[in-house]
């Protein structure tokens, strides 16, 4: 045995089994590392006494490859992998990607489009009524009727098209163990309807039953929407999404239902997030920490290189950016591992023969979130209709970063560790709320590898409000502090801002304002992102409906391809190849916007930093110049 879970029938038999309890089908190559959902779920099941065989990137052109291990004793687990298969395959412009970081050698084409649906239907061909449980990002974010950017229509909840029995959404450790135990006891999969964090399809007239042992009970009739109305009426679709979003809380959430003719999709309330002790146990499982050796001849799996020497210390995100699906998937409640748990993992990394002394990241969805945003949510749930940080930080916000500072300091002391970096997203507005300033001081002095990537995304406060991001003043203030500390430390370090074009709410005037902001601050970003409508986000609902689902207000949405290309070009307006597109902006601007466009192309503005094309100040220009 090589330490990995079985990938062949022979390896199943070596473990003393005729067939595995579960076959885990994944659209990713098999990587046994805790940054990969397949590794976590299979190892958690192993810890509870269930054997999983891994069927990674099977041949989906027929049902034969799905018979590799025979009919599993309890059922199939199916996931598209760490990302939605359509996002993995297509850029926002609809072009096929030429690289898949989760496949051997980065080679594309190893998984089908809409992988969960295809895999499940092949399993049905092979074994008929075998239990099929689906999970992972693709299933989680498509659990209800959802706008699908690639077909430009509202699709049914993925359970309907996949013909799976149960869908697990969110972080699935608790759900999958509960389902496995019920199946092991002989409970028919069609009778399992009371597990939190799951969804199922039943007859429309069936009674929704919740087992009190699961910690909740029905409270009135659940809110339900008919798919025919959802797929044809945008206002109804926006309202339905808000119901789903508001009920994605383990304390206040209730069941959500959708009607499909004489059938009903039921989404049970979410599972509570794992606590510190449970997270410690999950991350202490015996992961190999690498891609399966069978991929060596193909060059390995590129995705492991980013995380091989990185450590996840938290889950959840109360930042709740509109364009991010984390709030809908992991949830807004932040939980974290204990410091000893993280240090134990770093000690294991430091003992590896290929460790060079550098921990590339101690992070997660947001690196500097270490605990819930306030104590109130522990008993009353997350506030509905209110974000913790925007438009202004909540008065109840707990911005204490002392435990994260302690974690970073402890990691630096591990024998063999030369340097610890923080490369996950840092929520700078939250860091600025910590009046001690200790975290920012330590971050800038000790944990930046020359560049710190941050995500202001835009400069227009109206667009930022639609994004769920702080006002640009917050980024400006953080920038001042960052460069001041860097200068005092004698370090030439730079902020590299992530920027997004064509987000709902962004007019061409806003795009011109952002270009002028970049000019004023001497920024020439090497990479920019056009807004990509993906399932499960507030912004995608805005894109499809022209309505902000959280406020119910209409919002401007740039959807014309020419306009979107121009907005994108404005973020890199200095480039000669973008000159013609930048001039086209005048066709979309107001009179005021046209005047500002003239300022961009012909006026002179003072720069705070001279920079090169990579978004970094030119050599010798790292110090803050005196203000006039």
* DSSP state letters, 523-572: ---S--EE----TT-HHHHHHHHSB-TTT--B------HHHHHHHHHHTT
- Cα-Cα-Cα-Cα dihedral of 200, 253, 323, 449, to 10°? -110
Q: Are 167 and 120 in contact (CB under 8 A)?
A: no
Residue (of 59, 71, 145, 72) closest to 109 by Cα position: 59
Q: Of 233-242, 340-349, 603-612, which range is least confident? A: 603-612
What local confidence, expressed as pLDDT, does residue 425 receive? 87
- Output the CATH code of domain 453-628: 3.30.750.200
Residue 187: how many other CB atoms lie within 10 Å? 12
**How far lies 414's CA from each of 276, 281, 342, 358, 408, in Å?**
22, 21, 11, 11, 11
186-191: long-range contacts, CB 8 A cutoff, minimum separation 24: 189/75, 189/131, 189/133, 189/165, 190/165
Beta-carbon neighbour count of residue 392 at 10 Å?
12
For the chain, how long is the longest CA-to-CA vector?
78
Taking residues 457-479, report their average pLDDT.
96
Helix orientation angle between 538-545 and 234-246, rounded to the nearest 10 degrees: 170
Q: What is the percentage of the chain residues whose pLDDT exceeds 90? A: 87
Cis ω before 321 (30° cut-off from 0): no
pLDDT digits (tens, 9 = 90+) for 368-396: 999 999 998 889 999 988 899 999 999 99
Q: Which two tokens stand for residue 545?
A: 């409906």
For residue 214, the 8-state DSSP code is G
| pLDDT band, residue 213 (cuts 50/70/90) | very low
**Beta pairing class for 314-315 and 335-336:** antiparallel
Q: Which helix (H) or strand (E) holds 513?
A: helix 508-520
Adjacent-strand bridge partners of 32? 290
Quote the tokens at residue 154: 């509202």
363: DSSP letter: E
Could you give the CA distance from residue 101 to residue 124 in angstroms, rounded to a whole number?
29
The CATH code of the domain at 309-449 is 3.30.750.210
Mean pLDDT across the chain, nearest whole number?
92
Phi, psi dihedral angles at 605 (to 5 degrees): -125, 145
In angstroms, the CA 370 to CA 317 distance is 10
Query: How many angstroms from the chain centroid is the CA of residue 529?
Result: 16
pLDDT at 260: 97
Tell me the CATH class for 9-201: alpha beta
CA dist., res. 467 & res. 538, Å (int): 9
Percent of the chain residues topping a pLDDT of 70:
93
pLDDT of residue 103: 97
- pLDDT-derived band of residue 527, with 50, 70 and 90 as boundaries? confident
The pLDDT of residue 214 is above 50: no
363-373: string of b/e by CB count within 10 Å (b at 16+)? bbbbbbbbbbb
392: Cβ contacts below 8 Å, ≥ 6 apart: none
**CA dihedral sign of residues 270, 83, 424, 302:** positive
- Cα separation of 512 and 584, whole Å? 11
pLDDT of residue 221: 59
pLDDT at residue number 222 = 63
Could you state, in order of their start, the residue ranges of all structural domains in the chain?
9-201, 309-449, 453-628
End-to-end Cα separation, the chain, in angstroms: 69
Q: What is the DSSP secondary structure assignment for residue 64, as one 8-state letter?
A: G
Do residues 154 and 121 touch, judged by C-beta distance below 8 A?
no
Beta strands in 244-387 (DSSP E): 256-260, 263-267, 290-291, 310-312, 314-315, 335-336, 358-359, 361-363
H or E segment and range at residue 586: none
The answer to whether residues 433 and 394 touch, using CB atoms and an 8 Å cutoff, is no
Cα 325 versus chain centre, distance: 5
- Quick check: 607 pLDDT over 80? no
Beta strand ranges found along 344-489 (DSSP E): 358-359, 361-363, 419-420, 451-457
Domain 9-201 and domain 453-628 have a common topology: no
pLDDT tens digits along 475-502:
999 999 999 999 999 999 999 999 999 9
Does pLDDT of 208 surpass 80? no
Based on C-alpha coordinates, what's the Rg of the chain? 25
pLDDT tens-place string over residues 56-66: 999 999 999 99
Residue 624 DSSP label:
P
Name the band, by pLDDT with cuts 50, 70 and 90, for residue 603: low
- pLDDT at position 610 over 80: no
Tell me the helix, strand and coil percentages in the chain, rounded to 5: 35, 15, 50
Count of positions (residues) in the chain: 628
- In this structure, are residues 414 and 362 in contact, taking their beta carbons and an 8 Å threshold? no
Q: Stretch 76-92: mean pLDDT, rounded?
A: 97
- Encode pLDDT of 322-354 as tens digits: 999 998 999 999 999 999 999 999 999 999 999
The pTM of the full predicted model, rounded to 2 decimals, is: 0.92
Question: Does residue 437 register a pLDDT over 50?
Answer: yes
């Amino acid at each position: 045995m090589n330490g990995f879970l079985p990938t062949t029938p022979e390896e199943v038999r070596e473990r003393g089994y005729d067939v595995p309890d579960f076959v885990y089908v994944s659209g990713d190559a098999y990587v046994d590392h805790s940054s990969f959902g397949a590794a976590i779920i299979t190892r958690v099941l192993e810890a509870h006494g269930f054997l999983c065989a891994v069927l990674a990137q099977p041949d989906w052109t027929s049902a034969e490859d799905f018979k590799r291990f025979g009919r599993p004793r309890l059922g199939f687990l199916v996931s598209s992998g760490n990302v939605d298969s359509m996002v993995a395959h297509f850029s926002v412009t609809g072009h096929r990607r030429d690289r898949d970081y989760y496949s051997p050698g980065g080679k594309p084409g190893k998984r089908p489009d809409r992988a969960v649906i295809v895999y499940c239907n092949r399993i049905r061909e092979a074994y008929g009524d075998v239990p099929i449980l689906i999970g992972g990002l693709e299933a989680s974010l498509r659990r209800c009727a959802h706008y699908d950017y690639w077909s430009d229509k509202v699709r049914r909840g993925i359970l309907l098209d996949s013909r799976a029995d149960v869908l697990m959404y969110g972080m699935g450790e608790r759900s999958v163990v509960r389902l496995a135990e019920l199946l092991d006891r002989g409970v028919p999969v069609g009778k399992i309807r009371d597990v939190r964090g799951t969804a199922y399809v039943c007859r429309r007239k069936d009674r929704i039953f919740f087992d009190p042992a699961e910690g909740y009970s029905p409270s009135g009739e659940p809110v339900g929407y008919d798919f025919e109305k959802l797929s044809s009426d945008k206002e109804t679709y926006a309202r339905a999404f808000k119901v789903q979003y508001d009920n994605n809380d383990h304390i206040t959430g209730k069941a959500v239902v959708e009607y499909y003719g004489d059938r009903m999709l039921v989404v049970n309330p979410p599972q509570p997030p794992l606590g510190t002790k449970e997270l410690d146990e999950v991350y202490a499982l015996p992961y190999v920490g690498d891609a399966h050796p069978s991929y060596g001849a193909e060059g390995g799996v590129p995705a492991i290189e980013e995380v091989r020497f990185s450590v996840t210390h938290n889950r959840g995100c109360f930042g709740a950016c509109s364009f991010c699906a984390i709030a809908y998937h992991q949830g807004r409640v932040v939980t974290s591992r204990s410091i000893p748990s993280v240090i134990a993992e770093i000690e294991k990394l430091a003992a590896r023969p290929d460790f060079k002394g550098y921990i590339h990241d101690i992070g997660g969805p947001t690196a500097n979130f270490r605990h819930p945003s306030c104590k109130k949510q522990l008993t009353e749930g997350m506030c509905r209709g209110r974000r913790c940080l925007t438009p202004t930080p909540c008065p109840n916000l707990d911005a204490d970063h002392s435990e994260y500072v302690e974690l970073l300091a402890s990691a630096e002391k591990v024998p063999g560790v030369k340097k610890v970096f923080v490369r996950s997203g840092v929520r700078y507005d939250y860091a600025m709320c910590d009046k001690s300033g200790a975290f920012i001081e330590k971050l800038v002095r000790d944990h930046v590898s020359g560049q710190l990537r941050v995500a202001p995304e835009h400069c227009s406060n109206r667009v930022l409000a639609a994004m769920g991001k702080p006002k640009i003043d917050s980024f400006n203030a953080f920038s001042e502090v960052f460069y001041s500390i860097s200068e005092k430390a004698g370090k030439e370090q730079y902020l590299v801002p992530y920027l997004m074009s064509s987000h709902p709410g962004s007019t061409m005037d806003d795009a011109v304002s952002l270009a002028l902001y970049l000019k004023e601050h001497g920024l020439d970003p090497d990479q920019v992102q056009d807004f990509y409508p993906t399932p499960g986000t507030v912004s995608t609902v805005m894109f499809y409906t022209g309505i902000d689902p959280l406020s119910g207000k209409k919002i401007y949405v740039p959807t014309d391809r020419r306009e979107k290309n121009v907005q994108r070009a404005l973020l890199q307006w200095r480039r000669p190849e973008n000159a013609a597109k930048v001039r086209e902006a005048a066709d979309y601007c107001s009179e005021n916007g046209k005047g500002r466009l003239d300022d961009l192309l012909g006026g002179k503005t003072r720069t705070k930093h001279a920079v090169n094309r990579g978004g970094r100040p030119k050599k010798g220009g790292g110090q803050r110049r005196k203000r006039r």
